[in-house]
Chains A and B, each alone.
Chain A
Amino acid sequence: MSDKKYWQSFGERSNSEAFQKSSEDEFSESLPLEGLDGKGLLDAKTPRRDFLKYLGFSTAAATLAASCEMPVRHVVPYLNKPENTIPGVADYYATTYTIGGDVIPVVAKVRDGRPIKLEGNKVSSLGQGTTGARVQASVLDLYDTARLRFPVQIVDGKAQEVSTFEAFDKLVADALAGAGGAVVLLTGTITSPTTKQIISEFLAKYPGSRHVQYDADSYSGLIQAGEASYGKKAIPSYKFENAKVVVSLGADFLGTWLTAEQFSRAYAKGRKIDEKNPEMSKHFQFESLLSLTGANADERFTHKPSETGAVALALLAELGGSVTAPALPENLKAGVKKAARELIENKGKALVVSGSNNVNVQIIVNAINEAIGATGTTVDWASPMMTRQGIDSEMNTLVADLNDGKVGALLVYGVNPAYDYFDAEKFKAGLKKTKVSVSFNDRLDETTELVKFALPAPHFLESWGDAEPKPGFYSFLQPTIAPLFKTRPFEDNLLKWSGNATTYEAFFKQYWIGKLGGMEAYEKALQDGVVEPAASAAGGASFNSAKTGDAAAALAAGKKGGAYEVVLYQKIGLGVGAQANNPWLLELPDPVTKATWDNYAVVSPEFAKKTWKDMDLSDRRQADGYEVFPKKQVIKVKVNGKELTLPAVIVPGTHNEVIGIAVGYGRQSADPKNTADYIGRAAAGDDGSGTGVGKNAFPLMSFNGTTVDWFGIDASFEDVKDWYKVAITQTHYGYEGRTEVVKELTLDEFKKNPSTVLEEREKELKPFGGVENFEKQGTLYPTYDKPGIKWGMSIDLNSCFGCGACVVACHAENNVPVVGKSEVLRFHDMHWLRIDRYYSTPGGKLDNPDDVQVIFQPMLCQHCDNAPCENVCPVNATNHSSEGMNQMAYNRCIGTRYCANNCPYKVRRFNWADYTGADSFPNNQDQKTVGKLDPAVFQMNDELTRMVLNPDVVVRSRGVMEKCSFCAQRLQEGKLKAKKENRVLEDMVDIQTACQQACPTDAIVFGNANDSKSLISTTRAEHAQRLFHVIEEVHTLPNINYLAKVRHTEEVYGVAEEGKEATAEKHS
């Protein structure tokens, strides 16, 4: 604190005699108080000031004693403080996110022995520190209440604890000895070199045994196509950063396809605009549903899944391949032609990817990439990706073997085929026939509850380990917390059962010390988290065109679909459902539909119009009816002899004859009553029936002889005349021509007149002095200087793809409560940061799914310098900091909600109920009549789950308003750090907001705008032409600015048209 003295007058400053006297005589007339004894007021027994103090104190004491009975919670201090740990100071450990084969190097923030937040590891060259929603959320899985806490033996469907590991080892050893038949190890993709070695040692012990890798999100087609075309059974690395033209045939490479986080970062490099030299990559998307990637594409064409092969063939033919182009609808033909032209023009700087799991399609795509010179430039075969290795046919063989009784023992690790295998019933039947079955999964999931023995493996944050996503790129795991439960690493078990006495930890250490050449290198590797080879250029591979012809023939002979076709896809939150009990992910709105907590049938507006007479979304009245009520029509989808009853959510951009269904939902135990205990309360759903959140769509898949198809081409549906409520956080479709909210323009327009956006702003603000003088002239009130720090944020709409990593990161960093589906339905979601999604179509028409443009706009507290929320709060609970932040004093808030009403951005969130258990009223979460809270809320309030809370951020009680704080705790920490080190605050080093750090594409820039060298200042200066503030003319003076979206298209729908019409009218 400074020792500044404030003075009110010169007398006080010089403390002159006259002043002293006058201050004594201030109250010259003494008041007739008792106890004065004729002396001055200040000499009385109880002088005036003391009297007020007593009064204040006694009132406060009485109030405290009378009303503030708070539940007592004990803090237990360390008896012996652990070395190297300072309570309250976070430690950071490099480790690796490894779930379902994904390998993402991360840094875990550990506070007082508990990992509470994951950040990307910037040392890694793979993605340079990117994370995604699922990575951000995975720290919560560590504290999942449904995790299996000890080894169990399952007898007659009942799990019985096995008291010691020794006892368990003996049970399994005996069982294995008497198993007879092969021992099969069924795992997900294993990228760990040490694990692979241990597996091979284990397999060597058991003759006839084998290891099967199975991926629920199968890339079998892609891998096998690599084998056919290049003799390499692998997935090449894709270098999106080198591609000027990207054509995606249904690959959701920004959302869920392979390492989408890393692809997003690479792809964003081609999407960011340099104002001095505006260039952008061009992105074509051919797909059936509106995926996140399609939503970001420049040109988008929809087709039925049965036409996938035809589109690929047509493209190859157009590029001069020796195949005949099949018949295609006009729109596709034109699209293919357009894409081909661009690809040819950018030979060597183009890339075609396909999301199909069909080997033949992928072979054609390989041929296309050959034709456009992608191999060796944008498709890197020198360093293939190893994060998916499962081959569908191997799994099929295994399931057949299980049913034939050929397998003596099945050891399952990290996969859940009883849930996510397309023919789960057959797998279950086979599993039943298997004598010995062991699972190492973390909970009694659908597969584990059917095995005989289960020994839970620790979470990756509790584990030692390594991963090799690409040859030579190693990423390490180290424990960030002592195991919470009686778990044992999978590798330990194999070592033990193959008669090796070393533990995995020792094995791991020995292996890497040997490989890296010493303890020092080993420790450095752990510290960095990664070991990587020197950067090398992309490499090609010799292409074998022999298979292309066969593939083309096979595709040309492909079956034609029925009236409707079904596409199965993954949502960015849940993926294939491995993290299905994660409330953060369940409550993360889907980037496109903005729906939470459920899966549903995605249908087109045309589909809805045809099916229901009052659902024409181009009619405002009917659209209102659809959007203001959460209940949606239910349809029964029939495909491949299976059916699924789901609510229909209308998404423009869906092919008119396609129904889309997300997988990863509908987790359910054999006996639904067990779902909440075995799989988790959140995953079990809100109605207590235990049938799970959403419906399981995996059974709708089918096997085409080589791979699993993620679609069904002969589908039908039935209107079951029922309703189901879907919790959607954003109900309205378009932005109604409100260019004050979002600004977008085409690349050509931008090139022609780079100051279009600026001129538009100038026009809007003209009545108030224009952009330059708006701050002063837009108000009657005086304006003030803003010296010192002034926090600012810039969000680039060109590189925000809507992935939602920031949303989950904000949840984790700021202890944002989970409210559950029933509360989201009531529009009570608490996201501090949300991503607004707006569709626009030409002339507001919705019949053509190809003509849909999407814009994503992250929306959070704008930290207005003239904040409408601040002046209306009757108790000053929200006010402005000298650093330009709009801050909340939760303790002061009485909950009038006026601030939220008066927020033009609607970013304030009110604690409608006691979501966190922090309320003054104990046990008030048992609402019965209105606002019943879901099991997910209780799961989040469990003592175990609460360990994930960030101790630097207060947990808000009900009745209090909350909102984005610009991660004030991080800023404070950064400022103190700089101060302690006696240096200037450096942004990106000392301070980063959670959303900024999580963003895979660096769309969010944050820092001190008063520092001309900070990134925020340079960003604003370099992008001055695209910079705008949302609804600027309201004179809120936000500290967040956006950069207008530039589209590499011919026109921008919606707004621009309306604008043009308006000007045309004026001129005519």
Chain B
Amino acid sequence: MSLLRYESQVRSPLVDGDKDYHQVTEDIIRPIEAAPTRAWWIGFIISVACLLFGVVSVTTQVIYGVGQWDLNRTIGWGWDITNFVWWVGIGHAGTLISAILLLFRQQWRTGVNRAAEAMTIFAVMCAGQFPIWHMGRVWLCFFIMPYPNTRGPLWPNFNSPLLWDVFAISTYFTVSLLFWYSGLLPDLATVRDRAKLKWRKAFYGVAAFGWSGSTKHWQRHEALSLVLAGLSTPLVLSVHTIVSFDFATSVIPGWHTTIFPPYFVAGAIFSGFAMVQTLLLVTRKVLNLKDYITMEHIEVMNKVIVLTGSIVGVAYLTELFISWYGQNKFEGWAFAQNRVNIFSPYGWSYYLMMGCNVLSPQIFWFSKMRRNLTVTFFMSVLVNVGMWFERFVIIVTSIYRDYLPSSWSTYYAPSIWEVGFYVGTFGLFFTCYFLFSKFFPVIAVAEIKHILKKAGESYKDKMGDLEKEPVEEFAHEYAHAH
């Protein structure tokens, strides 16, 4: 018996079902060519409706002022920046899956990377809305760009974390978009080549940038992927680090915390994976892609969730410890009274955060739970609720009662336009996602074919007999198989 006959007892195949290359193409490209389903239409219309609600909310706010939100002189940021950080966090998983897992050669990523990357891009788009529209005078938002001008020249303030945000997020968005699109090229060419309709041929023809599948193309494509992966990897860490600086560099107790960068990054990956989970569970069901997004994927991602969730939990506890150990009166108050004290006005939000983010993911220590779709789906939503509250807790419970008790705020709850804006970004996100799932292959066809050879069920069917042959024979056949 040769070594090659060894069948792993631990790892299940990355692609289920008896697939060959053509079948893979068929499975994934079919939804693009077929007319949208009823479910798709319903989802799409709801998404667009939400988006329109958001547009109305933002328009109202731009015309009448930020007073359309229920922020106040003590709570200058509320839902707006909470949502911003939340969406940016969600936008982390995609690049992490694509880039870091590519570099670490985690081949299970191929089943989920495309959708995760798309999610990243849409999430960052949603996130970007908040810092833009939360400005009091948004029509002057270009003041924030360092462009040559006749005002002195007058530059933006390079000390301000908000400016760092602009650079960090725009860079992240650009690189993520390039990464996503360059990965799409071979698949777009596949769609083009299969297209029978004229417009489709033309559209995908342009979109595919003349991809011919030549070795040279493939070689450059691989090289570019690696370069972009290399570029993205530090970005995954830097973006949320910089976002965390919005708070960490301030003087507000509860914001001014050195643990924020790693804690934010862990939290971002945590929430990002949860969002990927939510989306993929729906996608695999709706588009019938169970063979590509397998239980194995779900389990692996649940493991990441329990890991990052625990890191976040440790961060929370560290914060508490430091607030006690540091013996700073104001920081002590921010944690002990504004947060831990469940009876304080916002105490409930701290426990909601703790419950959703730290306690609930612990369920994934059990493999049975990791492989339970219902539990996974429920948990993925819960984690994102928890992560939303994490940001809310950080932002609002810190500033609503800070140094001077005279300025302690009244209770803050969002106005309809604040809620509308948030709902609107969901609308934007899902509108984009629905369009993406309709017009682009949600799974990287080309990449899945790479792993099909070694991991598919078809391997056993086709190579089973060969394995019985002597080693030399087998090697020969293996080299020519498929």
Contacts and interface: CB of A to CB of B under 8 A. Distances in A.
Interface in B45-70: 60, 63-70
B72 A904 contact: no
Interface stretch (A101-109, A332-340, A821-829): A821-829
A896 B403 contact: no
Interface of B: 60, 63-77, 131, 134-141, 143-144, 148-150, 154-157, 159-163, 166, 246, 249-252, 329-330, 333, 343-345, 399, 401-411, 415-417
B157 A894 contact: no
A930 B407 contact: no
Interface centre among B68, B343, B407, B408 (most CB of A within 10 A): B407
Interface centre among B75, B139, B157, B399 (most CB of A within 10 A): B157
Given A628-B409, A901-B399, A874 B144 contact: yes
B403 A930 contact: no
Nearest to B344: A624
Given A827-B409, A898-B160, A930-B415, A836 B404 contact: yes
Given A624-B343, A930-B68, A730 B251 contact: no
16 contacts: A67-B139, A621-B343, A627-B410, A731-B410, A827-B73, A836-B404, A875-B156, A894-B140, A897-B71, A898-B160, A902-B250, A904-B252, A910-B136, A930-B416, A931-B65, A958-B67
Interface string A734-758: 1110101100000000000000000
Given A828-B73, A958-B65, A906 B160 contact: no
Given A872-B162, A892-B143, A906-B404, A913 B67 contact: yes
A395 B345 CA distance: 53
A829 B74 CA distance: 11
Interface centre among B143, B148, B251, B417 (most CB of A within 10 A): B251
Interface in A912-951: 912-914, 919-921, 924, 927, 929-931
Nearest to B68: A930
Contact of B76 (A627, A834, A871, A901): A901
A113 interface: no
B405 A736 contact: yes
Interface centre among B68, B141, B401, B410 (most CB of A within 10 A): B410
B127 to A, nearest CB: 15
Nearest to B149: A56
A893 interface: yes
Contact of A828 (B72, B136, B166, B417): B72
A778 interface: no
A741 B144 contact: no
B63 A826 contact: no
Contacts of A931: 64-65, 67-68, 415
A895 B133 CA distance: 10
B163 A874 contact: yes
Contact of B406 (A56, A625, A732, A829): A732
Contacts of A919: 65
A738 B136 contact: no
Given A898-B76, A910-B66, A872 B249 contact: yes
A678 B305 CA distance: 67
B137 A909 contact: no
Interface string A952-991: 0000011111000000000000000000000000000000
Interface in A879-917: 892-898, 900-902, 904-906, 908-914
Interface string A600-629: 000000000000000000001100110111
A28 B74 CA distance: 56
A549 to B, nearest CB: 50
A56 B404 contact: no
A910 B71 CA distance: 10
B161 to A, nearest CB: 7
A741 B330 CA distance: 11
A560 to B, nearest CB: 40
Contacts of B156: 874-876
Given A876-B154, A901-B250, A829 B73 contact: yes
Given A876-B155, A930-B415, A896 B64 contact: no
Nearest to A835: B406
B408 A912 contact: no
Contact of B150 (A56, A624, A930): A56
Nearest to B164: A874
Contacts of B70: 826, 930
Contact of B403 (A60, A876, A892, A1031): A1031
Contacts of A720: none
Contacts, number: 220
Contacts of A1036: 251
Interface centre among A56, A874, A920 (most CB of B within 10 A): A874
Contact of B73 (A629, A909, A930): A909
Contacts of A621: 343-344
A507 interface: no
Contacts of B401: 732
Nearest to A68: B139
Given A732-B405, A732-B406, A872-B160, A828 B144 contact: no
Interface centre among A625, A734, A871 (most CB of B within 10 A): A871
Given A871-B157, A957-B137, 16 more contacts: A624-B345, A731-B408, A735-B406, A826-B72, A859-B406, A872-B159, A874-B156, A894-B136, A894-B137, A896-B134, A904-B402, A914-B64, A920-B137, A930-B67, A931-B64, A1031-B330
A960 B417 contact: no
Contacts of A836: 404, 406
B334 to A, nearest CB: 12
Contact of B77 (A875, A901, A911, A924): A901
B26 to A, nearest CB: 51
A734 B162 contact: no
Contacts of B402: 904, 906
Interface centre among B131, B139, B144, B166 (most CB of A within 10 A): B139
A871 B406 contact: no
A868 interface: yes
B160 A871 contact: yes
Contacts of B166: 874
Contacts of B163: 874
Contacts of A1031: 330, 403-404
A135 interface: no
Nearest to B72: A827
Given A826-B72, A874-B163, A898-B160, A628 B67 contact: no
A904 B77 contact: no
A741 B402 CA distance: 12
A52 interface: yes
Which A-B residue pairs are the 10 nearest by beta carbons? Answer: A895-B136, A959-B136, A912-B67, A827-B72, A836-B406, A906-B407, A897-B76, A913-B67, A874-B162, A959-B137
A40 interface: no
A1034 B253 CA distance: 10
Contact of B417 (A67, A900, A929): A929
A908 B136 CA distance: 14
A930 B329 CA distance: 37
Contacts of A897: 66, 71, 76-77, 134, 136
A651 interface: no
A770 interface: no
Contacts of A1004: none
Contacts of B408: 627, 731-732
A844 interface: no
A56 B143 contact: no
A904 B416 CA distance: 29
Nearest to A826: B72
Contacts of A957: 137
A590 to B, nearest CB: 14
A168 interface: no
A929 B417 CA distance: 9
A650 to B, nearest CB: 16
B66 A959 contact: yes
A630 interface: yes
B143 A912 contact: no
